[in-house]
Structure 1
Amino acid sequence: MTTTDAKRPRPGAAILRTALRRNAGAVVRGTVLMGLYQAGETAFPIALGLIVEHTMRDRSLGSLGLSIGALAVIITTVSLSWRFGMRVLQKANTTEAHRWRVRVAACGLQPVARDVGLKSGEVLTIATEDADQTSDIVEVVPLLISSLVAVAVASVALGLADIRLGLLVIVGTVAILSVLSVMSRRIGSSTREQQARVARAGAKVADLITGLRPLHGFGGNHSAFLSYRKVSSLAKHQAFVVARVNGIYAGTAQALNAVLAAAVTLTAGWLAYAGLITIGELVMAVGLAQFIMEPLKMFSEMPRYVMMARASADRMALVLDAPPLTTPGRERPAPGGDLEIDGVRHGSLDGLTFRVRAGEFVAVAAYRPRAAAELASVLGAHVPPRAYGGEVRIGGRAIADLSVEALREHLLVNPYDGEIFAGSLRTNIDPSGTSSTVAEAVEASLLTDVVALHREGLDHGVRDRGANLSGGQRQRLSLARALAADSDVLVLHDPTTAVDAVTEQLIARNIAKLRKGRTTVVITSSPALLDAADRVLVLDDGVITAEDTHRHLLASDEDYCRAVAR
């Protein structure tokens, strides 16, 4: 196998096989029960034909009672086998869908991101709709086999009456499936395109919801609405295409099944008229011709569901088999907390070099927001080491050589737009429930007023994305979470942009006090934070152009004074 082959995502067929193999017991039990159901359904018209045949020969109450008993057994078998068969299959289907949803979610939550190339809204659609449709294969296969059982039993029964009737059913079934298999391929391609467009529409909604407040701020609501409307219209148009294809498929299947049933009925009538089959066999043939339409309909619909499951499985493979953005090492940094950036080239960063000694509080004043964001991304390992030049070292070790656990344990980069989760203040500050500095972090971030406002205190409920908190409260909550982690090296990116100047001044002093003796880097243009730092590094044109305390830079550097003075 070549390297290219090894990296190529496995096809959806492998995912479908995994689902079937994992539920082999349920599939076998379901197939047996549903096969018994279809056999019982098929046996009903056969029994009627035999009853008519024997009644005409032996007109006795005993024969009538025996016939009624036989029909009761058949009806009971049909009822119970359907009930328990569908229970087994639907339970397995639901359980398998849950497993795939968890797998897709786990891929998104892994410490090392995958090179998926999909937006979060698209991944959400894959984790829900596509996971459900993929798991349908667990139910489809037994129904397909049981329908085949019904057709086989009917063919044998009709063949025993007259070989021409049996051959007619067999040849007709093969012809119907040949036509429908060609049509099902079109359904598969149309369904894949529809799922992709729906996923893109979902991603657009997620993006708009995330940026709802900024949109309100500069009046971009209407443009955003038109943007979403365009994407949604494409999804709607493709849904119409899929519905049209499905309608043509279902109509064609129904028509072909009806033609086959009519052919069997007319052929049986002609054979009975010619005296080649008995009246009882004619009744059986007519009954089977009517009955066979149902399993044929189910049998002809199954390829469509198989193609839909395959399309969804192919989309899941995009997430499950995507390679990681980077391959982490296995080393651990030396204790101390040194942070070194050595010749980093990424985006606007042009050979950026500086060092933060263990226990030092350093502020980076980036004149351009883009450079600040790129520096935070590189330090946070959101950019794979192979995607930028130079090297970032922690405790003398390059981050490319560190294990994910060691990197996360020693370095925490808190973004300016840190996510707030549904739960409580406490679970947002200390998600793992293991921090011993929650109270100190709350006090340092001045989140104490939010805690004091509510009777529940830290157990006050927080809605998804912090919808019941103001912008400043969300930012302070995110800062409290970063401080409570108490990591060796903490990098904060614009942690106080949404708070007032007085609060910002207090927070800056609190951060310096709480993090004393711990390595801290703040990427900011806030005078309060810059003044609280041991020294300030000026980042301009992708490199460090000046280095001193905030007050000395204010007195000696006019560009710095214009950039940070408020």
Structure 2
Amino acid sequence: MNPLRPPRLSSTDIPADPWRYLLYVARAQTGLVALGFVGLSVSGTAWVLLPWAIAKVIDEVISAGSAEPLLRWTLVLLAVAFASSWVFIAGYRALFMAESHARVRTVRNLTDHLNRAGTGVRGAISPGEMVNLSTEDAHKTGSFIFQLGFGWMGVVMLGVGTGMLWNIAPALGAVILGGVLFIGFVVGPVLGRLQHHQIAYRSSVATLTGQASDVVGGLRVLRGVGGEDQFSRRYRAASRDLREAGYGVARADSWVQGLRTSLPLALMAAITWVAARLALTGTITVGELSASFGMTALVAQHSGAMIGMAQAVIAAQVAARRLTAFFGTRSDIADHGTGRGAHGTLRDPESALAIEPGRLTVVVSAEGKPAEAAMERLARYRESGAEWGGTRLDALALDEVRERILLLRDDYLFAQTLGETLRVDPERALAAIETACAGDVHSSLGSDLDGEVHNGGRNLSGGQRQRLRLARALAADAEVLLAVEPTSAVDAHTENLIASRVRAARQGRTTAVLTASPLWLARADTVVWMWDGKVRAAGTHAELSRHDEYRALTSRQESR
């Protein structure tokens, strides 16, 4: 099995609707979410019961005219406070773990879909937007689970508190329930405006980060053609749009935060006023007056948590819109084929390039891009009429092609250990390192497969990165290996060793190398000479050297 083959997962498993995606994220953490909700529900109920217990202490002490009941009720209060604290910690921990797992799941979904869609995301999603999706948006879709738990805790406390206040005096229950509904009625429209501004802000962030990643990738080109001023004007305009969108979010959010703080205080004042008048008329006791204030304070405080939950859900829905838009992108390579087991010559009709099975073929071309495009067609990274033993590649199952044909280019090195980069057992990993002359990579990482390769291979030289990529491809041991300039960054002595070792290691397996290096040409079973994207001649290196143009092309490489 090819360890470098992307995971074959169905994108249909991921909902296309933002709300359904949030449910999908939460459902994957059902156990932790349920534990968190139960823990916070029990803890919230216990907190609401504390003012009731204190009211009982006050009334019994006043009724008895002594402090004798204090000891019994003090023990009850301590037990409730201690137990509720531990239950709260357990619920908090469960929700935090659910949030963390949800964030990791979203990042994995992004990675898997990127593997599936491949170049299909090119032009649809910018590199800067990919960073935002995997960081800010993944965080928001995970944190909404955490905030949902505390919002639910506020709902439970509201229900318990309303019931207990109604039991003390129906007027108190009606006031607190009506007050919370009034808060929702006032804050709701503001939350709608906040959602509108957050959507605009998120769109502006995507635009700006996309422009920033473009300039980082093409700064030299911009300087060469004098495009810096034009880009600067575009970037300043996008920055102004982002700033205005940010102001819109801040204005709406400031209203939400202000109402979140002031309206619960107004509710507390209303309850205290009603309870005090009831106490003056003797309808409720002094202890019940104290309980009314304490319960209202707790419920009012956590009604702010319910508003916070609504904010988090809105932010998560905006993030989920961007994520589901990304998951909606599809590969530009159709996967309708069902055939398997093709064998024989790989043939690209467009260029007439043919790769014979079990042989080392070296492709020589003065123009690199057309020849590389031919290799991509043979590996089915471009739609074409390419064939394998007379069977069209697009008639084969795509996972079959990916499993058996490996295209090696200037592929990315991720931040992981050397062993994780090679993805095979230690014996095969060390053999691949030896074949690719990457022993210095191994030694520079402490002669340990657990040595860390930094993101992009930044702790390695250009030649080391290239040889590590080659070692990774060799470790995969694919049936067909198509390599594009695998040794362009190494010296002649090392290249000679690599060409010799790769030929020996791949003996009897199909290997094609795009290069004009005489060190590879001398070991090739077949040399294919391409001109202007078409095969001009094929044969041995000695036979093709009779052509002046071919000899001039390869001699330039020889004098490198």
TM-score by length of 2: 0.79
Is 1:456–2:444 an aligned residue pair? Answer: no
Aligned to 1:556: 547
Say if 1:423 and 1:180 are closer, same or farther in 2 by CA, change over 3 A: closer
Q: What does the per-residue CA deviation read over 1:76-115, in whole Å, with 9 as the maximum and x for residues that have no partner?
A: 4543432333233333333443444434333344597775
How do 1:153-164 and structure 2 match up within 5 A?
153-164=160-171
Counterpart among 287, 292, 307 of residue 300 in structure 1: 307
Aligned to 2:424: 432
Query: Does the Cα contact within 8 Å between 2:129 and 2:206 map onto a contact in 1?
Result: yes
Aligned to 1:347: none
In 1, Cα distance between equivalents of 2:214 and 2:522 = 36
In 2, Cα distance between equivalents of 1:23 and 1:421 = 28
Count residues in correspondence.
542
In 2, Cα distance between equivalents of 1:418 and 1:540 = 26
In 1, Cα distance between equivalents of 2:234 and 2:459 = 26
Aligned to 2:352: 353
In 1, Cα distance between equivalents of 2:441 and 2:63 = 92
Shift of 1:471: 1.7
Say if 1:270 and 1:321 are closer, same or farther in 2 by CA, change over 3 A: same
Query: Does the Cα contact within 8 Å between 2:18 and 2:320 map onto a contact in 1?
Result: yes
Aligned to 2:150: 143
Task: Give the partner amino acid of 1:286.
Answer: F
How do 1:277-316 and structure 2 match up within 5 A?
277-316=284-323
| CA RMSD between the two structures | 4.3
How do 1:114-153 and structure 2 match up within 5 A?
117-119=124-126, 122-153=129-160
Aligned to 1:333: 341
177-186 or 252-261, which deviates more: 177-186
Aligned to 1:391, the other structure's residue is in SS state coil
Percent pairwise identity? 27
Say if 1:56 and 1:323 are closer, same or farther in 2 by CA, change over 3 A: same
Shift of 1:379: 2.6
Aligned to 2:405: 411
Aligned to 1:539, the other structure's residue is in SS state strand
Aligned to 1:377: 376
Say if 1:529 and 1:79 are closer, same or farther in 2 by CA, change over 3 A: closer
Query: Does the Cα contact within 8 Å between 1:261 and 1:292 map onto a contact in 2?
Result: no
Shift of 1:294: 0.8
Aligned to 2:110: 104
244-253 or 546-555, which deviates more: 546-555
Say if 1:178 and 1:504 are closer, same or farther in 2 by CA, change over 3 A: same
In 2, Cα distance between equivalents of 1:453 and 1:61 = 76
503-512 or 303-312, which deviates more: 503-512
Say if 1:219 and 1:150 are closer, same or farther in 2 by CA, change over 3 A: same
In 2, Cα distance between equivalents of 1:205 and 1:29 = 43
Aligned to 2:5: none
Query: Does the Cα contact within 8 Å between 1:425 and 1:458 map onto a contact in 2?
Result: yes
Aligned to 1:492: 483
Query: Does the Cα contact within 8 Å between 1:107 and 1:320 map onto a contact in 2?
Result: yes
In 1, Cα distance between equivalents of 2:235 and 2:50 = 54
Is 1:184–2:201 an aligned residue pair? Answer: no
Task: Give the partner amino acid of 2:133.
Answer: I
Counterpart among 19, 27, 43 of residue 37 in structure 1: 43
In 1, Cα distance between equivalents of 2:158 and 2:483 = 69
Query: Does the Cα contact within 8 Å between 1:201 and 1:228 map onto a contact in 2?
Result: no
Shift of 1:202: 6.7
TM-score by length of 1: 0.78
Task: Give the partner amino acid of 1:158.
Answer: L
Query: Does the Cα contact within 8 Å between 1:33 and 1:82 map onto a contact in 2?
Result: yes
Query: Does the Cα contact within 8 Å between 2:482 and 2:513 map onto a contact in 1?
Result: yes
Query: Does the Cα contact within 8 Å between 1:508 and 1:532 map onto a contact in 2?
Result: yes
Is 1:363–2:362 an aligned residue pair? Answer: yes
Query: Does the Cα contact within 8 Å between 1:40 and 1:78 map onto a contact in 2?
Result: yes
Query: Does the Cα contact within 8 Å between 2:418 and 2:452 map onto a contact in 1?
Result: yes
In 1, Cα distance between equivalents of 2:416 and 2:39 = 45
Shift of 1:281: 4.1
In 2, Cα distance between equivalents of 1:458 and 1:146 = 48
In 2, Cα distance between equivalents of 1:432 and 1:35 = 48
In 2, Cα distance between equivalents of 1:226 and 1:27 = 47
535-544 or 226-235, which deviates more: 226-235
Task: Give the partner amino acid of 2:411.
Answer: G
Shift of 1:407: 1.9
Q: Which runs of 5+ in 2 are unaligned?
A: 1-11
Aligned to 1:475: 466
Aligned to 1:311, the other structure's residue is in SS state helix
Q: Which runs of 5+ in 1 are unaligned?
A: 1-5, 343-350
In 1, Cα distance between equivalents of 2:96 and 2:443 = 50
Aligned to 1:15: 21
Counterpart among 520, 536, 539 of residue 511 in structure 2: 520
Shift of 1:165: 3.0
Task: Give the partner amino acid of 1:419.
Answer: Y
Aligned to 2:192, the other structure's residue is in SS state helix
